Amino acid sequence: MKKLMLTTAIAGLALTANAIAQTSITGEIRVTHKAVASETATGTTTTSGRGFGTEQQINFATKGKLNVGGLDYAAGFSIENDGVQTINQFNENTYVDITNASSGTTLSFSVDHIQRNDSDRSAGNIFGFAPSEFSSSGPSGSLMSATPGPGVGQSQSVAVIQDIGKFGKLAYNYAPTLTDKSTTTLTTGSGSSEAFTETNEKSAYEISFVGDLGVKGLTVDYFTSKQKQMSGVAIKAEGENIGLRYNTGAVTLGVARKIWNDDGSTKTEITEKNYGIAYAVNNNVTLGLLHATADSNAANTETQKLTAIQLGYNLGPVALTVGVAKNSDIAGTNGADSDMIMTRLTGAF
């Protein structure tokens, strides 16, 4: 027994030393100020709010080669704190990737790591704040979502990612139990190290492609996701996101369309469209214009609209982003409007 324990300890020590030798640590901090003036549907009540928010993230990563088949591996995790977050601080960018370099195939066991379907990655949102950020904190919610449909990429999942020549990457991502969704209408599943809680949440998958199709300056995004229908629930969650972005010199253009619905008793389908243009004035200054709309098939629902102007300024070790936005008919409610100013300082290390 003592010999076995000693052997195990030496093996563990060797693994630890190897990991430390190849480990990199990076991080990011964000300080954001938001000011909102909102008007209700009656037009008689105006409310306002303002305040600071912070986000801190530390990333640990290691990579190397396995001792079988000449396979490459990469592993890592992030510690993230959004504001005063007290739970789920380890549910971002946690992964173990095994890659066959000769075939361009990667097997990824991960959370919030591979190419995924959320609005910050929308081709229509070229830089700065996303439509879901600009349209939040309004008088009656928002039709614009950070995660259109099932959040497979933000759930604990296994994915196969395949390089398609020089055209891009094709991925299939599978979550045995969906743990992240666009909205939470029912109790979601949750997981931990070797134990988990199984609820009525079912499995979900996402198929995606991200690449340039061999055209310099072009980026194509396509995502489609579905969740298995849950017991006693009439509608299953589905989502689709397609976007194009093209850069030519100092100008970048982007457009995206998202169609999605959550699980529920009736199918409420939302179609969101994002349009963006950005102009790099010089190496330090970028100007951008963002326009987004969202429609719901629910009765008596107006088209929610958002128009925003953004400025990005590179201060060296710190980046400054300022955005001014106007929302109308928020959540499809006629007369529910808001004006918003957001400012963010981002530092990386």
Output the domain CATH number for residue 47: 2.40.160.10
Residue 218 lies in a domain: yes
Residue 14 lies in a domain: no
Q: Which amino acid is at 310?
A: Q
Residue 19 lies in a domain: no
Q: Report the 10 Å Cβ neighbour count for 339.
A: 14
pLDDT of residue 119: 66
User: What residues have CB less than 8 Å from 151, skipping those under 6 apart?
Assistant: 117, 118, 178, 179, 180, 181, 182
What's the full length of the chain, in residues? 349
Contact 225, 182 (CB under 8 A): no
Distance, in Å, from the CA atom of 145 to the CA atom of 225, rounded to the nearest integer, reads 15
279 phi, psi to nearest 5 deg: -130, 120
pLDDT of residue 84: 66
pLDDT of residue 16: 47
Domain count along the chain: 1
This prediction has a pTM of: 0.83
Q: Name the token pair of 219.
A: 């980026």
Residue 24 lies in a domain: no
User: What residues have CB less than 8 Å from 54, skipping those under 6 apart?
Assistant: 29, 30, 31, 32, 81, 83
What's the domain range around 330?
30-348
Distance, in Å, from the CA atom of 215 to the CA atom of 210, rounded to the nearest integer, reads 13
Residue 122 lies in a domain: yes
Residue 3 lies in a domain: no
pLDDT, averaged per 10 consecutive residues of the chain (349 residues), comes to 39 44 86 88 69 91 91 93 67 90 95 81 88 77 82 88 95 86 38 47 90 95 89 84 95 95 82 96 96 91 95 94 94 89 94
Residue 22 lies in a domain: no
Q: Name the token pair of 179.
A: 């743990």
Residue 18 lies in a domain: no
